[in-house]
Amino acid sequence: MFIKLAATVNCKSMRSVRQVLPRAAILIEQLVPIESQLLERVNRTALTTRQKEIAMLSAKGLANAQIARQLNISPHTLKEYFKDIYARLEINSQRQLVERLSD
């Protein structure tokens, strides 16, 4: 993709691309540990695989509609999953779920 991009931009734009890429790499490096820490926390829970998947997406900040769409389930089914997740973790809200996974 970088080669295609480089072929379509002039030299001045190429310098801008070269300046942005290192910054993007730094941001990715900073996000990877956060993602792996979240995954570790989710995996330490007593949730099913599907519940863990939902908890991860919720902790990443996706809206319920986005989670349901991404997992190809109805919003009602997602709501039932959340009820089960809350019961297993002995919590009462999505905010508490995020807090639990952030500790």
CA atoms within 13 A on the CB side of 47: 26
DSSP string, 42-62: HHTSS--HHHHHHHHHHHTT-
Per-residue pLDDT band for 2 (boundaries 50, 70, 90) equals very low
In a domain, 39, yes or no: no
Distance between CA atoms of residues 30 and 25, nearest Å: 9
Per-residue pLDDT band for 12 (boundaries 50, 70, 90) equals low
- pLDDT (tens digit, 9 = 90+) per residue, 27-54? 444 445 567 777 888 878 888 989 989 9
* 90: containing domain: 45-103
In a domain, 40, yes or no: no
Question: Which residues does 50 contact at the CB level (< 8 Å), separation at least 6?
Answer: 71, 81
In a domain, 77, yes or no: yes
H or E segment and range at residue 30: helix 11-43
- pLDDT (tens digit, 9 = 90+) per residue, 53-63? 999 899 888 99
Count of domains forming the chain: 2
Do 65 and 89 belong together in one domain? Answer: yes
